[in-house]
Structure 1
């Protein structure tokens, strides 16, 4: 009886809480509870209680939120996102809003998920103000742009230069290489030089015009992503890395920007996993109603949960990564490029078990 009374008191407290809160109680994501603030945020009412998240909000299903929730239920890994756009349906009209939200997996004594606690804050006004301020700063603050350009060039040029140098040293020292192996190295070096040329060309354009817009075109990543992975494997001497690449969909983006995004994310995934007995990296993508979501997952050291949002700041790294080579510039650059592409990056991680990066590219 007392447990039931406690449960009712908790539900009553949550119902009056100022933070928008909902609870999903089954693997099919049935909505067991949504307080007044969450119903207000969803522009909905109590008739959705008992329905699955997908049935109650088919537009959220199309935007990929259902897929994220199911991953949380399956893995037990909490998902935290900031400044995330969502189309909220009010009557027959859709309104674009921005949210900070958390899908927290609630685990039993066997570490199995028994519910997901969803909390959310509408940050539309903050986000729009931030976008306006950022645009004004980009136009007015040349020094900031030049600092970012310098960091970008100095950081991202290292990978292709190191690949080219390693290839030349191998060809020079190992005279007994087969013709096939030599040709393979020539292709790797040629690809590295092409990547370096793209970085330099993009940096020059950005330095010439602060209002330069990254040029979007359809990029077939299935044709180039394996070579970027191979670069990272060579750079990190990760020959034992177990790599799985599947469901690679084309996206609308800028090729030079994509190299910087994926080389940084893949490089981190391999670097922080190679000390495992069976280091692994998986890359796949999913189609949503509004674009393509890419997932890069490793089984490395992970990131402390309370540090995930901070690692996007310049020169910031996870406190457990300080013994690894690097300065904490890569993810800062990735986030800036994703913003320029109108995309989003989110990270979920379990300390000691690995990290998953979600990159969303709009149509």
Structure 2
């Protein structure tokens, strides 16, 4: 009779896909195949020890905090072309990896293991960088053209409301106060939508045509006004804002504003009806400053995550909520403009985690 557990382990051991398994919240390494050991430049003596103990450099670079968040939330984390320093003897070698921290859940929805798979994509990353520099201007021009087409379509709706309301009020001079107030409310909402669309256009144009002007942005002093601005646009949404330590950023202040407001607005728009929260916090790693936006909203279907940063793309479960489909694409463009990256993990009905990486140290600000 076939021992299925032994068969699975044999397949994993022989697999060229680097694989490891953690079996508790302390990130105990219960399994790692040879491909993963080679990638880590480690041997089998690490089995039975914790990830943080075996690889303090990975903990300092923020990977352990991602793993612990996956264990806590049960939301699988995917990332592509992420830099990491591999310790080999007395040297640190910078490599780039695609990896997945997959939360394995029990029948109650609780995490009981994390399956870690990874691929070294350093050569692909370096080749892509060379190609990206060559096509950067063409790409940004194309995105701007796409954005202009999208905005011309999206502006039609709020403008139609204004035109329709104006015609209605001109033809009906003796309206009740209640009906008139309802139309004025519609006018206000339409104007806000137009302002939002125009602001996004101007911001992307700034990305295309200007140099990266760095400022010291004190997030802890600015976050309150950004939250209040979003709340004014969504007065009926109830959500708790949980703020952790917020490191300052040495970055383009306009770009940071646009990124944070877009992500806060997404969390508010797609919040659940009861007990909604958005947790915003930051940490300093050896590679830079990481900001995390963690909510318990409606989430994004797993099959749609790979396309969610594309322009005009929205989750299929968000059709009942107004939006342009521009926000996350803009966030990605702005982060790349500043030399950073953005990763997003989500699970339907569990929420979304967005991780922003800014390549700088606290001393830069």
* TM-score, scaled to structure 2: 0.79
* TM-score, scaled to structure 1: 0.80
Q: Which residue of 2 aligns with 1:185?
A: none
How many angstroms does 1:21 deviate by? Answer: 0.5
- The separation in 1 between residues aligned to 2:199 and 2:323, in whole angstroms, is 23
The 5 Å alignment of 1:1-363 reads 5-140=3-138, 143-144=141-142, 146-147=144-145, 150=148, 200=202, 206-207=207-208, 209=209, 212-238=210-236, 240-273=238-271, 276-363=273-360
- The separation in 1 between residues aligned to 2:150 and 2:129, in whole angstroms, is 21
- The separation in 1 between residues aligned to 2:39 and 2:94, in whole angstroms, is 12
> Does the CA-based 8 Å contact 1:281-1:298 persist in structure 2?
yes
My pick for the range that moved more, 66-75 or 280-289, is: 280-289
- The separation in 2 between residues aligned to 1:148 and 1:45, in whole angstroms, is 50
- The separation in 1 between residues aligned to 2:18 and 2:235, in whole angstroms, is 47
- The separation in 1 between residues aligned to 2:150 and 2:25, in whole angstroms, is 42
SS of the residue aligned with 1:14?
Answer: helix
SS of the residue aligned with 1:312?
Answer: coil
Find runs of 4+ consecutive structure 1 residues off by over 4 angstroms.
Answer: 148-155, 196-200, 202-207
Change (3 A) 1:231 1:321: same
My pick for the range that moved more, 14-23 or 143-152, is: 143-152
> Does the CA-based 8 Å contact 1:54-1:61 persist in structure 2?
yes
SS of the residue aligned with 2:308?
Answer: helix
Unmatched 5+ residue regions in structure 2?
Answer: 156-176, 178-194, 361-365
How many angstroms does 1:278 deviate by? Answer: 3.2
Change (3 A) 1:334 1:153: farther
- The separation in 1 between residues aligned to 2:151 and 2:341, in whole angstroms, is 22
- The separation in 2 between residues aligned to 1:359 and 1:315, in whole angstroms, is 21
Change (3 A) 1:69 1:198: closer
Q: State the superposition RMSD in angstroms.
A: 2.8
Change (3 A) 1:278 1:225: same
Provide the aligned length of Structure 1 versus Structure 2. Answer: 320
